[in-house]
Structure 1
Amino acid sequence: MARLLGRLGGWCARHGRVVLAAWIILAAALTAGTLVFGRPVSNNVSIPGSDAQRAHDLMRDGFGPGYDTGGTFQVVLYAANGTLVSDERERAVDTAMTRIREVPHVVQVDTPYRMGGMSPSLAIGVLTVRLSGQEEGTLAETSRRISAAVQPVRATGVEAVVADNGTPADKEITTGSSEIIGLACALLVLLLAFGTLVAAMVPIFTAIVSLGVGLGVIGLLGHLVDVPKQASVMASMIGLGVGIDYALFLLSRHRKLLADGVPVHESVRRTTEGAGGAVFFAGGTVVIALSALLLAGFPLLRTLGWITGISVVCAVLTSLTLVPALLGLLGHRINALRLPFTGPRREGAHSGTTGWAALGTWVAGRPWRVLALAAAVLGALAAPALGLKLGPIDDGYADRGQDARRAYELMEAGFGPGSNGPLIVVGELDAKVAVSDPPAQIVTRIGDRLADVPGVAHVSPAKIDVSGRSVLFSVVTDYAPSDPRAFGVVGEVRGLDVPGVRLHVGGEVAGMTDASDRIAERTPTVIGVVVLLSALLLLLAFRAPIVAFKAALMNLVSLGAAFGALAIVFSYGLGSRLVGMDPPVSAGGSYLSTLFFTVPIDSYVPLMLFAVLFGLSMDYEVFLLTSVRQAFLRSGDNRRAVAEGLGATGRVITSAALIMVVVFVAFIAYPDPLVKVFGVGLAVAIAVDATIIRGLLVPATMVLLGRLNWWCPAWLDRILPDLSVAGHGEDDDPPSGQDQDRTLVTTSRS
C-alpha cells in the first residue's frame, strides 16, 4: 500500500499540470451541472414497517388528492386590531382563496371560517392549503406564490404568515457565509503554523476543490436518490475540515523532508508513501463510521450518512493526488512569501526539542498519574451527558425572523400548543364489522374514545374514505410537539381497544416517536459495527491488535465529552443563548427563563454525531500512532518512541484540530438549530480529543503497555495483508548505533 501510494504521489508530482487541470475541470463541470440541472432535495422521513408509516399510507391511498406527499401549507391570519369576522376581511379572504386555487398543484383550500379554523377570540384563523403532485424542490416557489396570493388580506390590516408542515430539520439549509468564515479562520491558523502564504494556501485551495467536487456530486445525485436537505451543510462541515487537515499533514511532512535536503520529487514520493498512507486509513475510518448508519433503520439517517461520506472520499482523493501535484509544481517555492516577523523555521525531522516533545517526555516519566488526571477530567466533562434530553425540535425553536416561527407562535396563542403538531389517527375497519355495524356508529365510537384519552384537547370531525374502510381524525393534544408528554399521548391512542378497528397514529409527533424507538433499537448494532470495523482497519494499518482495539475504544471517550457539552448547552440551557438560540414563548418572560432555556435534541442526532466524531477522532489517532510506530522501529525503545511521536506530531495535530474547531464553530452561526447542535458537539469533541486524549491519555496508556503495543501473534501476522502504513521509519536513517535494534524490531514481525 505504502509503495503504491508513493508511486502515485511521484507520478502526480511529475505531471502536476495535468492533475491540476483535471481536478479544476471536474470541479467546474460538476458545479455547472448543479447550476443547470438544479439540486433536488427530499427529506424521506418514512420509517418502513412503523405504525406512523401505515397511517400515512392509508391516508394517502384512501382520502384522495391533497393527502399524498405533495405537501400542506397553512396561512395563519392574525388581526391585531379587531377580528377576522367583518365584511371587508371576509371578502378579502375569499379573494385570496380564489387566487390560491390558481397556484399550480393546489387541489384544496379550507376556509378559516370553518369549524375549528378560528380561535375563540376570532382574531386568529387558519387557511389550509393542500397540494398534490408537488415536488419538494419547488416548495419554496409555491410558498412565495401563496404568500403573494394573500396580499388582499394584508391590505385590510391582517397579518398573513405562510408556513409548511415541516420542522426546522426539514427546512432547506443554504450554505455560504459559514464556509467563508471557516476558510478565513483556517487560513489564519495555517499562516501561523507555516509562516508562509504559499504553504498556507495549498490546504485551502485543495479543500475548495474537494468541496466543489463533493457538493457537485451530491447535488446531481438528487436526481437519482432522495438527498436530505441537511446533506450539503454536513458535507461542507466535514469535507472542509478533513480536506484542510489531510493536506496539512502531507504538507508538514513534505516541508520537513525539504529542510533535510531531500529533492522535491523524492520528498513528494516519501510524503505520500508515509503520511499519505495515514491519510488513506484515516479517511477510511470516517467513511466506515458514516457507512454504518446504513444499519440505523431510519432512511433519513441512512442516506445522510453515506452521502456525507462522499465529501470525505473527495478529500482523501484530492489529498493523495492534487496535493502532490501542487507540491511538485511549486517546488521550493512552497516556502515563498514568508510573513513578516516570522524568521526561517527549522522544519527538519531532527530539529531539536519542542514543547510537545517535552510534554511527551513528561508524560512518559509519570504515566499512572497522567492517566488518573486525564480520566478524572474526562469523567467530569462527560458527567452532564447523563442529563441529555432527547425529543423532536419544533418550529418554536426556529429563528425569530422566520415565518415558521411566527406561524408557530400565532397557532399556539390561538389554538393551544398541540395545534402545531396534531396527531393523524386513521382507523382501519375490519371488513366484517363495516358490513354488520353502520359506519356512523363506528365513527362515533372511535371519536368518543379518542376524546377520553388524557392529554387530548380536541378531536376534529371524522372523514371517511371512498371505500368506507378507513376513517380519519385529526387529534390536537395539550402539548407542544417537542413536549415529551406528547409521546405519551401517542402511546395511549395506539393502546385503545376499539372492537373491529385497528387504530394507526401518524403525524410529526408519532413519526418521531417511531424514529426514536427504531434508533434506540439499532444503536447498539451501529456502535458495535463502527468500533469493530474501525479496529480492523487499524489492525491492517499497524499490525498490532492491542493498539488497534485500544484506539477504537479510546475514541468513545471523546464522545462522552461531546455529549456532556451538548447537555450543558441545550439540555440544561446554560449556553443556549450563547449559540444564538431564541427562547420559545413557553419560556415565559422572566430574565432567567429567557437566558437559560432548554432545547430538545432530535433522537437521531446522537447516533449521527457518534458516527462522525468516531471517524474524525480516529484521524488524529492514526497520525499519532504512525509517528510513534516509526520512532519505535528506529529505536526499539517504547518510552522514547512515545515521547518522540508526540513531539513530532503534536504541533501538526494541534494546528489541524484548531482548524477543525474554528470551522465547526463557524457553522454555529447558522440559524438552523440542528446545525448548531452539530457545530457545538463536533467542536468540543475535536478540542478534547486533540488535547487531553492525544496529548495525555493515549501516550500514558502506550507507555504503560510497553512492547505489548506492537505485539502481534505469528499466526495473525501471517494472514494479514501487507497494508501497513508504518512499516518503516519514513525512510529516515536510524540514529547511530541503533541499526541492530531496528533490525530486531522489524524482523520480529516476520
Structure 2
Amino acid sequence: MTRLLGRLGGWCAGHGRVVLALWVVLAAALMGGSLVFAAPTSNDASIPGTDAQRAHDLMKTGFGPGYAAGGTVQLVLYTGDGRLTDAARKRAVERAVVRVRDMPHVVQVDSPYRVGGIASNLQIGLIGIRMEGHDSDKIAELTQNMSKAADPVRAAGIEVVPADSSTPADKEIETGPSEVIGVLCALLVLVFAFGTLVAALIPIFTALVSVASGLGLIGLLGWVVDMPKQAGIMATMIGLGVGIDYALFLLSRHRRLLADGVPVVESVRRTVSSSGGAVVFAGGTVIIALSALMLAGFPLLATLGWVTGISVVAAVLTSITLVPALLGLLGHRVNALKVPFLRGADGSGAGWAGLGHWVARRPWRVLFASVLVLGALAAPALALKLGPLDEGYGTQGSESRRAYELMAAGFGPGANGPLLVVAELPSKVAESGDPIVGQVTRAVDDVEGTAHVGEAKVNASGRSVLLQVVTDYAPSDPRAAGVVRDIRDIVLPGVDLHVGGEVAGLTDAGDRMAERTPLVIGVVVLLSALLLLLAFRAPVVAVKAAVMNLVSLGAAFGALAMVFSIGLGSGLVGMDPPAGSSYLQTIFFSVPIESYVPLMLFAVLFGLSMDYEVFLLTAVRQAYQRHGDNARSVAEGLGSTGRVITSAALIMVAVFVAFVAYPDPLVKTFGVGLAVAIAVDATLIRGFLVPATMVLLGRLNWWCPRRLDRVLPNLSVEGHEEDEAPAPPRREPAGAGV
C-alpha cells in the first residue's frame, strides 16, 4: 500500500495544477449544487419496532388532521395585569383565532376559551392549532406566520409566544462565528509550529476544500435520505479537525525531508508513502468507529455517524492528493513568508525525546502516576446523568424557552411534554362514551404521576382510542419515563396500550441505546484493534492501543459529568439556569445528556484517539527496526512525533472549543467532550502512559506468532525502507518548485 501511495503522491506533485483545479471545481460544484438544490432536513427520531413508533403509526390513521409529526402549533398567551377573560382581551383573542383559522394548511383551531384552555389564574391561555398538507421542514416558518396573525392580541396588551411541536433537536442550527474562530485559532497554532505563513496556510486551505466537498455531498444526499439538522455542523466540526491534522502530519514530514536535501517531488513521494499510509489507517479507524453506529438500532444516530464519516473520507482524500499537489507546486517556497521572531518546528524533537528517555528510566512510577491522574479525571463519570433535553434548557430569552416557562407556570411542567396514549380495542365502539373507553381512561388516570387525562377521541374505524395525558413531571424529569412504563404495564382484557409523544420516544431511545451499547463498543474496539494488527503486525500493540483509547474516553466522560451532570461549569458553556435561581443553583446547574450522545461520542473519540496512536506507533516502529533497542525507539518515536502531535491536538482542541459557543446543547456537549479527550490523549496518554507501557512490555510490543504472521496480509503502514535509501538525483518535472 505504501508504494501505491508513494506513486500517487509523486504523480500529484508532478501534476499539481491539474489536481488543484479538479479539487476546486469539485468542491465548488458540490457546494453550489447543495445551495441551489437545497434538500430538506429531518430530525425524525423514530425507532422501528418500539412502542412509541407503534403509537405514532396508529395516530396517523383515522384520528383526523394534525396528529402526524410536526402537525401541532400552540400560541401561548400571557397577560401580567388583568385576566384573559376580560371583555376587550377576549374579543382580541377571538379575532386572532379567526385570522389563524383562515391561514393555509390550518384545519383546526382550538380557542383558549375551552375546557383546559386557560390556566386557573386566568392569565395564561393556549390557542391550539392543527395543520396538514404542509412541509414539516417549514414548521418553524409556519409557526412564525401564525404568531404574526395574532397581532390583534398583542395590540390588546397580551404577550403571544409561539411553541411548535418540535423538540430541541429539531431547532434550526444557525451558523455562527464558531467555524471562523476555529480556523483562526488553528492558523495561529500552525504559524507557531512552522514559523512560515505559506506552510501554515496549506493545512487550512486543504481542510476548507475537504469540508466544502463533504458538506456539498451531504447536502445533496438530503434528497435521498432523511438528513438531521445537526449533520452539517457535526461534519464541519470533525472535518475541520481531522482535515487540518492530516495535512499537518504530511507537511511536517515533507519539510524535514526538504531540510535533509531531498528533491521536492521525491520528498513528496516519500512523505505520502510513509505519513500518507498513517493518514489512511488513522482515517480508517475513525470511519470504522462511526460506521459501527449503524448497529445501534437508532436511524438518526446511524445517519449522523455515516454523514460524519463522509467528512473524514474527504479529509483523507485531500490529504493524499491535494496536499502533495500543493507541495509540488510550491516547491521550496513552502518555507516562504517567514514570521519574524518565530523559528517554527526544527524537527529535532529534543525536548520530547528527553521526556521519552526520562519515562524510560522510571516506567513503573510514570505508569502508576498516570493511572492515578487518569482515574481522578474519569471518576466524575459515575455521576453522568442521561435523559432527554426539553425546552427548559434552551437559551434564556428565546421564544421556545419563554413558552416552556409560561406553560409550566400555568398548566404544570408536564404540559410541555404530554403523553399520547393510543389504545387498540377488542371490538368496534361508536363513541367516546362507550364503557370500554371509560375503562381505559380510568385505568390511565389511576397511574401515579398523571395530572390530567384529556377527553378520549375515537378513530374513524372505532377500533382505537386516543388520550392526551399530562403528567406531573417535566419532559426531562426521569420520573416522566416511569409514568410511560407504568401506563404500558396496564393490563385490560383485549386492550393493547401504546404510548407515544416526545417523552415516550426518548424513553424508547434510551432503552434501545442501553441494549445496543455493548454491541457497538465491542465491534468498534474489535475492528479498530484488527486494523492496527494489519498495520503493525503486532497483537500486543493492537490490544494495548484499544485499551489506551478507552482510558482517554473515561476522562472525556468525567469532564462531561463534571460540566453538565454535576453542573460545575455549565454556565460557562452557555447553559442558562431557570429564572430566579439562587447563586448556588446558578453555579451547579445540572443539565441532562441525551441518551444517544455518549455512544456517538465514544465512536468519534475512539477513532480520533487512534489517529495519534497510529502516528506515534509508526515512528516507534521505524526506530525499532533500525536498531532494535526498545527503550531507545520509544524515546526517538516520541521525540519525532511529540511536537507534531501536540500541535495537531492544539488545533483540534481549538476547533472543538470554538463550537461550544453554538446555542445547540448537543453541539456544546460534543465540543466539551471532544476537546477534553483530545487534550488528555495527546498529553497524559501519548506523552506518559503509552511510552511507559511500551518500555515495560519490551520486545512483546512487536511480537507476532508465526502462524498469525503467515496469514496476515502485508499492509505495512510505515514505508520506512525508503527513508534509509539515499535520495537519487532526479530532474524536477515542469511545475515542481514553482
TM-score, normalised with respect to structure 2: 0.96
Candidates 337, 353, 377, aligned match of 2:373: 377
- Structure 1 CA distance for aligned equivalents of residues 102 and 307 of structure 2: 37
- Structure 1 CA distance for aligned equivalents of residues 594 and 122 of structure 2: 35
Verify the 8 A CA contact 2:432 2:458 in the aligned structure 1: no
Matched, 1:425 2:424: no
Residue 448 of structure 1, CA deviation:
1.3
Candidates 671, 689, 705, aligned match of 1:679: 671
Kindly provide the CA deviation profile for residues 414-448 of structure 1, in whole angstroms up to 9, marking residues without a partner as x: 101000011111111013x759x996111111111
Residue 61 of structure 1, CA deviation:
1.3
Residue 106 of structure 1, CA deviation:
2.1
Q: Which residue number in structure 1 is paired with residue 735 of structure 2?
A: none
Q: Which residue number in structure 2 is paired with residue 704 of structure 1?
A: 696
- Structure 2 CA distance for aligned equivalents of residues 60 and 232 of structure 1: 30
Q: Which residue number in structure 2 is paired with residue 590 of structure 1?
A: 582
Task: Report SS of the residue matched to 1:73.
Answer: strand
Matched, 1:137 2:133: no
Q: Which residue number in structure 2 is paired with residue 741 of structure 1?
A: none
- Structure 2 CA distance for aligned equivalents of residues 695 and 153 of structure 1: 64
Where does 1:506-655 land on structure 2 (aligned, <5 Å)? 506-585=500-579, 589-655=581-647
Which deviates more from structure 2 when the two are superposed, residues 492-501 or residues 724-733?
724-733
Residue 252 of structure 1, CA deviation:
0.3
Task: Report SS of the residue matched to 2:112.
Answer: coil
Distance 1:290 1:160, change over 3 A: same
- Structure 2 CA distance for aligned equivalents of residues 344 and 534 of structure 1: 34
Verify the 8 A CA contact 1:439 1:468 in the aligned structure 2: no
Q: Which has the higher contact order (CA 8 A, sep 6+)?
A: 2
- Structure 2 CA distance for aligned equivalents of residues 137 and 421 of structure 1: 21
- Matched residue pairs, number? 726
Distance 1:346 1:391, change over 3 A: closer
- Structure 2 CA distance for aligned equivalents of residues 45 and 369 of structure 1: 49
Residue 84 of structure 1, CA deviation:
1.3
Verify the 8 A CA contact 1:73 1:165 in the aligned structure 2: yes
Verify the 8 A CA contact 2:367 2:692 in the aligned structure 1: yes
Q: Which residue number in structure 2 is paired with residue 398 of structure 1?
A: 394
Q: Which residue number in structure 1 is paired with residue 65 of structure 2?
A: 65
Residue 727 of structure 1, CA deviation:
5.0
Where does 1:244-263 land on structure 2 (aligned, <5 Å)? 244-263=244-263
Letter in 2 for 1:621: E
Letter in 1 for 2:392: G
- Structure 1 CA distance for aligned equivalents of residues 412 and 573 of structure 2: 28
Verify the 8 A CA contact 2:194 2:343 in the aligned structure 1: no
- Structure 1 CA distance for aligned equivalents of residues 568 and 246 of structure 2: 35
Task: Report SS of the residue matched to 2:97.
Answer: helix
Q: Which residue number in structure 2 is paired with residue 469 of structure 1?
A: 463
Where does 1:662-673 land on structure 2 (aligned, <5 Å)? 662-673=654-665
Letter in 2 for 1:472: L
Task: Report SS of the residue matched to 2:294.
Answer: helix
Task: Report SS of the residue matched to 1:610.
Answer: helix
Which deviates more from structure 2 when the two are superposed, residues 723-732 or residues 528-537?
723-732
Residue 101 of structure 1, CA deviation:
2.9
Which deviates more from structure 2 when the two are superposed, residues 492-501 or residues 375-384?
492-501
Candidates 431, 434, 444, aligned match of 1:440: 434
Kindly provide the CA deviation profile for residues 458-483 of structure 1, in whole angstroms up to 9, marking residues without a partner as x: 11111111111111111111110001
Verify the 8 A CA contact 1:411 1:419 in the aligned structure 2: yes
Unaligned runs of 5+ in 2: 727-738
- Structure 2 CA distance for aligned equivalents of residues 334 and 314 of structure 1: 23
- Structure 2 CA distance for aligned equivalents of residues 266 and 418 of structure 1: 68
Verify the 8 A CA contact 2:488 2:497 in the aligned structure 1: yes
Unaligned runs of 5+ in 1: 735-750
- Structure 2 CA distance for aligned equivalents of residues 402 and 327 of structure 1: 48
Matched, 1:451 2:445: yes
Where does 1:292-311 land on structure 2 (aligned, <5 Å)? 292-311=292-311
Candidates 723, 728, 750, aligned match of 2:720: 728
Letter in 1 for 2:700: L
Residue 175 of structure 1, CA deviation:
2.4
Verify the 8 A CA contact 2:55 2:500 in the aligned structure 1: yes
Letter in 2 for 1:451: D
- Structure 2 CA distance for aligned equivalents of residues 110 and 509 of structure 1: 23
Distance 1:488 1:690, change over 3 A: same
Distance 1:70 1:388, change over 3 A: closer
Letter in 1 for 2:394: A
Task: Report SS of the residue matched to 1:76.
Answer: strand
Q: Which residue number in structure 2 is paired with residue 107 of structure 1?
A: 107
Task: Report SS of the residue matched to 2:462.
Answer: coil
Verify the 8 A CA contact 2:345 2:643 in the aligned structure 1: no
Q: Which residue number in structure 1 is paired with residue 49 of structure 2?
A: 49
- Structure 2 CA distance for aligned equivalents of residues 592 and 438 of structure 1: 50
Residue 729 of structure 1, CA deviation:
4.8
Letter in 2 for 1:26: L
- Structure 2 CA distance for aligned equivalents of residues 438 and 16 of structure 1: 75
Residue 733 of structure 1, CA deviation:
5.3
Matched, 1:499 2:493: yes
Residue 589 of structure 1, CA deviation:
2.9
Task: Report SS of the residue matched to 1:513.
Answer: helix
Verify the 8 A CA contact 2:197 2:336 in the aligned structure 1: yes
Q: Which residue number in structure 1 is paired with residue 734 of structure 2?
A: none
Letter in 2 for 1:479: Y
Cα RMSD for the two superposed structures: 1.5
- Structure 2 CA distance for aligned equivalents of residues 217 and 363 of structure 1: 46
Matched, 1:190 2:190: yes
Candidates 707, 727, 733, aligned match of 1:715: 707
- Structure 2 CA distance for aligned equivalents of residues 345 and 292 of structure 1: 38
Letter in 2 for 1:683: A
Distance 1:628 1:671, change over 3 A: same
Verify the 8 A CA contact 1:168 1:674 in the aligned structure 2: no
Q: Which residue number in structure 1 is paired with residue 731 of structure 2?
A: none
Kindly provide the CA deviation profile for residues 476-510 of structure 1, in whole angstroms up to 9, marking residues without a partner as x: 11110001111111111111112221111111111
Residue 27 of structure 1, CA deviation:
1.0
Runs of 4+ in 1 over 6 A off after TM superposition: none
Residue 621 of structure 1, CA deviation:
0.3
Verify the 8 A CA contact 2:273 2:719 in the aligned structure 1: no
Verify the 8 A CA contact 1:459 1:476 in the aligned structure 2: yes
- Structure 1 CA distance for aligned equivalents of residues 577 and 681 of structure 2: 31
- Structure 2 CA distance for aligned equivalents of residues 337 and 256 of structure 1: 18
Residue 70 of structure 1, CA deviation:
4.3
Verify the 8 A CA contact 2:275 2:718 in the aligned structure 1: no
Candidates 653, 668, 681, aligned match of 1:661: 653
Verify the 8 A CA contact 1:421 1:476 in the aligned structure 2: yes
- Structure 2 CA distance for aligned equivalents of residues 512 and 631 of structure 1: 51
Letter in 2 for 1:717: D
- Structure 1 CA distance for aligned equivalents of residues 245 and 39 of structure 2: 28
Verify the 8 A CA contact 2:70 2:164 in the aligned structure 1: no
Task: Report SS of the residue matched to 1:62.
Answer: coil
Verify the 8 A CA contact 1:78 1:125 in the aligned structure 2: yes
Verify the 8 A CA contact 1:161 1:403 in the aligned structure 2: yes
- Structure 1 CA distance for aligned equivalents of residues 460 and 372 of structure 2: 65
- Structure 2 CA distance for aligned equivalents of residues 184 and 477 of structure 1: 48
Distance 1:293 1:177, change over 3 A: same
Residue 108 of structure 1, CA deviation:
1.8
Residue 98 of structure 1, CA deviation:
2.6
- Structure 1 CA distance for aligned equivalents of residues 613 and 582 of structure 2: 47
Percent identity reads 72
Letter in 1 for 2:359: V
Letter in 2 for 1:277: G
- Structure 2 CA distance for aligned equivalents of residues 39 and 89 of structure 1: 43
Q: Which residue number in structure 2 is paired with residue 740 of structure 1?
A: none
- Structure 2 CA distance for aligned equivalents of residues 266 and 248 of structure 1: 19
Letter in 1 for 2:706: A
Residue 248 of structure 1, CA deviation:
0.4
